[in-house]
């Protein structure tokens, strides 16, 4: 089973899309539609039919900008404020302008959205300012609907290939990628004129408090491979210190409240059953209040539904227990907990890197271009903040179209055969040892150190200790890790991505000597927000083999923010009334 | 250093009476996002070979005979 096979094949294409979750299929589809003559390959570590963050679907759109309910200006403003102003508005605005046409397209694919009696979209309010949440009554069918489109377009799909490194040409432009089969360990070299990375969040970074390594909030297959590949190819990564941390049901990786239960009157409560946050939208400031309440005498924190009518609870339950995280009902059944009878204990998730929910990702502009020519990124791993599923679809479309155009006007870059040999040797090293440490132990230790040292509140001295310990684990990984079959080899390679992401998270966090984005970058030895020195992005990249960070100016706003609006998301805590 | 195998109770259970992997079905093995299911060479039936489960449920939802059951992993039950 999973025997190691020696082999290498080579293929070439115009556009290579890596990652078949949400953004990837859309990017591939749009590239093909833009240039029907182009060869488009979609590479996936798992199986496109059921891969990625939405393997079992999604219960709604969190950020739909629908005419009549919200405007692109309003949405851009909201996201800018929710991110403490550190936003390049162009890609956000472009998303906001374009996403309605994507909703209509998804509607044509057979994905239904909630409509009211008049046939209009029934959009709900969750955010602080605007109204953007649109439930999806048949959200469990998303992947099937997407897959149908891919088949119809006759796209080339390669499942069970894990991309390990990007190949670059002499001038630093993208030249393709190397992948390894997760069932046989055979190599595939894909020469490509343009490459689009859609490889999801770095979600297997922190260790869930349950101790179950794969019980992460993000699909556990999302081990940050895209972040690592972009880094090693020389691309810049933005604001990695802005971690992803989410409010979840304690011990269960399901989100709790804001988008599904909130619009029906459910809310996040403390142990007295009282609300303590103004707005359940997942911002860093909200997470900080959540964290403070957890630690306080009024903790822990609960999801409160037991004040709602039975019919309402049943409706919420139907969504929560059937779409996105369908084992949730089973979890509550096992615990003997019922939304009707009691408040449900909540907790915060392990840390991760993810732009879909926060702002930490591979830097992209409004065309989804990274800083490496010919290399694109979209979805959770690209730096458009808070872009969620609809952002993955929309920015995936943007990436696909621009990449097809770019590929049409460029030639293949030369690939250095030495680069391929070097990567083969790196990948296979754990299979050449007879004795050593298996990947699961190295991964566990790395992620335990992430929890011990990198989880906010962030303290400089702790981070430095963490870096030292992580370097020791890296040394073990490089010199002692063993993989006895191709499945274990996949885990070994994922472990390398996890360690790269941990190093990047630590480096980026130490660089920004202030606190920002609420809990996401709470540095208790630099507790204040410092707009004089740090009203900027940070970009991290590999330069001469070393990790470096630099500041990057926030691009001039296209939607101005008034002074009295700037801190709207800072006032999340409900004031005690006399 | 020698390696030991530590026992874990795995979350995905396959009803061997219902499983038709021995007749050529590979649906659950094909679609699992974490790639943890395999077909046993001994029984010809699907089983969970690696305890690396996201308990996401495509295996249960897509099984044509309803043979697969996903449980919550013990550590978070």
- Which residues of B fall below an 8 Å CB-CB distance to A? 1, 3, 30-35, 38, 41, 49-50, 52-58, 61-62, 70-73, 75-77
Smallest CA-to-CA distance from B73 within B22, B33, B13 is with B13
Q: Say if residue A166 is in the same domain as residue A275.
A: no
- Are residues A344 and A356 both part of a single domain? no
Local structure of A507: helix, strand or coil? helix
Residue B56 and residue A334: Cβ atoms within 8 Å? Answer: no
CATH number at residue A486: 1.20.58.100
Are A212 and B75 a contacting pair at CB < 8 A?
yes
How many angstroms away from the CA of A24 is the closest CA of chain B?
A: 15
Q: Nearest chain A Cα to B5, which residue?
A: A438
Alpha-helical (H) ranges within A373-485 are 388-408, 417-428, 439-449, 460-480
Query: How many Å apart are CA A341 and CA A310, to the nearest integer?
Result: 10
Contact A255, A350 (CB under 8 A): no
Is A577 contained in some domain?
A: no
Write the CATH number for A326: 3.90.700.10
Together in a domain, A232 and A179: yes
- Specify whether A26 is located in the same domain as A128: yes
> Does any domain span residue A443?
yes
Same domain assignment for residues A129 and A227: yes
Give A211's contacts in chain B (Cβ within 8 Å).
Answer: 75
Chain A residues with CB-CB distance to B76 below 8 A: 208, 210, 212, 215, 251-252, 331
CA A218/CA A96 separation, integer angstroms: 24
Q: CA nearest B56: which of A268, A68, A221, A555?
A: A221
Burial (CB count <10 Å: 0-12, 13-18, 19+), residue A367: middle
Architecture of domain B12-71: 2-Layer Sandwich (3.30)
User: Exposed, middle or buried: residue A469 (CB in 10 Å: 0-12, 13-18, 19+)?
Assistant: middle
> How many domains are contained in chain A?
3
A23, A126: one domain: yes
What's the CA gap between A424 and A187, in Å, rounded? 8
Name residues of chain A where pLDDT drops below 50: 578
| CB spacing of B53 vs A438 below 8 angstroms | no
Looking at the fold, whether A378 and A466 belong to one and the same domain comes out as no
CA-based diameter of chain B, in Å?
A: 44
In terms of CA atoms, which chain B residue is nearest residue A1?
B38
A320 and A192 within one domain:
no
Closest-CA distance of chain A to residue B34, Å: 6
Q: What is the pTM of this model?
A: 0.97
Residue A285, C-beta contacts closer than 8 angstroms, at least 6 positions apart: A82, A517, A518, A569, A570, A572
- Considering A314, A333, A348, which residue would you say is the last residue of a domain? A348
- Nearest neighbour of B58 by CB, restricted to A56, A220, A491: A56
Tell me, what's the pLDDT at A119?
Answer: 86
**Separation between Cα atoms, residue A497 and residue A171, nearest integer Å:** 25
Sort out which chain A residues have CB atoms less than 8 A from B53's CB and list them: 214
Quick one: which H or E segment has residue A509? helix A486-511
SS3 at position A235: coil
- In the predicted structure, residue B66 carries a pLDDT above the cut 50: yes
pLDDT at B42: 96
pLDDT recorded at residue A578? 43
DSSP string, A96-134: HHHHHHHHHHHHHHT----B-TTSSB--B--SSS---BE
Contacting residues of B for A55, CB less than 8 Å apart: 33, 56, 58
Among B51, B76, B2, CA closest to A434 = B2
Let me know whether A302 and A449 are in one domain. no
CA distance A171 to A169: 6
- Phi, psi at A168, each rounded to 5°: -125, 150
3-state secondary structure A394-423: HHHHHHHHHHHHHHHCCCCCCCCHHHHHHH
Domain limits for position A261: 247-348
Q: Are A181 and A422 in contact (CB under 8 A)?
A: no
The verdict on ipTM greater than 0.90 is yes
Torsion angle of alpha carbons A463, A469, A471, A473, nearest 10°?
-140
Name the nearest CA neighbour of A400 among A48, A72, A18, A57. A18
Residue A566 lies in a domain: no
Q: Are residues A184 and A298 in the same domain?
A: no
**Residue A558 counted as domain residue:** no
Tell me which chain B residue has its CA closest to the CA of residue A203: B54
Q: Give the minimum alpha-carbon distance from B15 to chain A in angstroms, rounded to a whole number.
A: 18
- Identify the contact set of chain A against chain B, taking CB-CB distances under 8 A: 1-2, 46-47, 49-52, 55-56, 159-160, 182-183, 208, 210-216, 219-221, 251-253, 325-327, 330-331, 334-335, 435-438, 487, 490-491
Mutate to test the interface with B, among A44, A51, A55 (most CBs of B within 10 A): A55
C-alpha distances in Å from residue A547, one per residue of A206, A455, A463: 21, 20, 16
Of A348, A366, A382, which one is at a domain's C-terminal end? A348
Chain B residues whose CB is inside 8 A of the A47 CB are: 30-33
User: Counting Cβ atoms within 10 Å, is residue A18 exposed (0-12), middle (13-18) or buried (19+)?
Assistant: buried
Of A56, A159, A160, the CB nearest to B56: A56
Choose among B41, B56, B72: nearest Cβ to A334: B72
Q: Are B31 and A47 in contact (CB < 8 Å)?
A: yes
Q: Is the dihedral of CA A542, A547, A553, A559 positive or negative?
A: positive
Residues A386 and A267 in one domain: no
Q: Which of A375, A391, A416 is the last residue of a domain?
A: A416
| A224 and A259 together in one domain | no
């Amino acid at each position: 089973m999973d025997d190691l096979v020696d082999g290498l094949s080579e293929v070439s294409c115009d556009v290579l899309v890596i990652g078949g979750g949400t953004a990837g299929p859309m990017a591939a589809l749009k590239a093909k539609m833009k240039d029907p003559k182009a060869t488009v390959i979609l590479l996936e570590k798992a199986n496109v039919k059921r891969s990625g963050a939405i393997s079992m679907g999604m219960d709604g759109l969190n950020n739909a900008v629908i005419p009549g309910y919200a405007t692109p200006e309003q949405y851009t403003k909201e996201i800018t404020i929710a991110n403490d102003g550190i936003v390049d508005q162009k890609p956000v605005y472009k998303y906001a302008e374009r996403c309605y046409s994507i909703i209509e397209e998804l509607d044509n694919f057979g994905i239904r959205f909630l409509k009211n009696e008049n046939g209009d979209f029934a959009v709900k309010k969750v955010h602080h300012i605007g109204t953007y949440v649109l439930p999806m009554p048949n959200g469990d069918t998303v992947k099937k609907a997407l897959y149908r489109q891919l088949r119809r377009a006759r796209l080339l799909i390669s499942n069970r290939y894990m991309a390990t490194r990007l190949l670059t040409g002499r001038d630093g432009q993208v030249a393709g990628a190397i992948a390894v089969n997760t069932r046989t360990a055979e190599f595939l070299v894909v020469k490509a004129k343009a490459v689009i990375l859609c490889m999801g969040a770095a979600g297997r970074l922190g260790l869930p408090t349950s101790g179950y390594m794969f019980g992460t909030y993000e699909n556990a297959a999302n081990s940050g491979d895209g972040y690592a590949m972009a880094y090693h190819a020389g691309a810049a990564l933005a604001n990695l210190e802005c971690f992803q941390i989410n409010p979840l049901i304690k011990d269960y990786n399901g989100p709790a409240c804001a988008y599904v239960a909130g619009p029906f009157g459910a809310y996040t409560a403390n142990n007295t059953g009282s609300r303590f946050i103004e707005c359940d939208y997942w911002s860093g400031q909200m997470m900080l209040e959540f964290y403070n309440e957890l630690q306080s005498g009024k903790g822990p924190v609960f999801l409160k539904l037991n004040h709602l009518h039975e019919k309402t609870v049943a409706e919420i339950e139907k969504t929560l227990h059937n779409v996105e995280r369908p084992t949730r009902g089973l979890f509550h059944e096992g615990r003997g907990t019922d939304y009707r009878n009691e408040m449900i204990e909540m907790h915060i998730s392990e840390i991760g890197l993810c732009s879909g929910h926060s702002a930490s990702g591979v830097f992209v502009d409004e065309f989804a271009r990274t800083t490496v020519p010919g290399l694109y990124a979209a979805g959770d791993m690209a730096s458009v903040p808070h872009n969620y599923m609809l952002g993955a679809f929309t920015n995936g479309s943007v990436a696909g179209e621009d990449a097809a155009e770019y590929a049409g006007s460029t030639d293949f870059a030369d690939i250095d055969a030495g680069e391929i040999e070097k990567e083969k040797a790196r990948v296979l090293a754990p299979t050449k040892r007879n004795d050593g440490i298996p990947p699961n132990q190295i991964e566990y230790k790395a992620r335990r150190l992430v929890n011990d040292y990198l989880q906010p509140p962030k303290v400089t001295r702790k981070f430095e200790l963490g870096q030292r310990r992580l370097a020791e684990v890296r040394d073990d990984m490089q010199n002692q890790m063993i993989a006895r079959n191709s499945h274990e080899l996949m885990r070994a390679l994922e472990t390398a991505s996890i360690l790269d992401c941990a190093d990047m998270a630590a480096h980026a966090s130490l660089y920004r000597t202030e606190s920002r984005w609420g809990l996401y970058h709470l540095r208790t030895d630099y507790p204040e927000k410092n707009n004089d020195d740090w009203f900027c992005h940070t970009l991290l990249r590999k330069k001469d083999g070393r990790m470096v960070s630099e500041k990057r100016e926030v691009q001039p706003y296209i939607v101005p923010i008034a002074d009295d609006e700037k801190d709207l998301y800072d006032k999340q805590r409900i004031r005690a009334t006399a | 250093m020698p390696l030991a195998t530590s026992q874990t109770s795995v979350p995905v259970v396959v009803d061997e009476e219902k499983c038709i992997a021995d007749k050529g079905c590979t649906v659950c093995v094909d679609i699992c996002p974490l790639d943890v299911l395999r077909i046993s060479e001994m029984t010809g039936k699907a089983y969970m070979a690696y305890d690396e489960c996201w308990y996401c449920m495509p295996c249960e939802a897509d099984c044509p005979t309803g043979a697969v059951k996903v449980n919550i992993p013990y550590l978070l039950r």
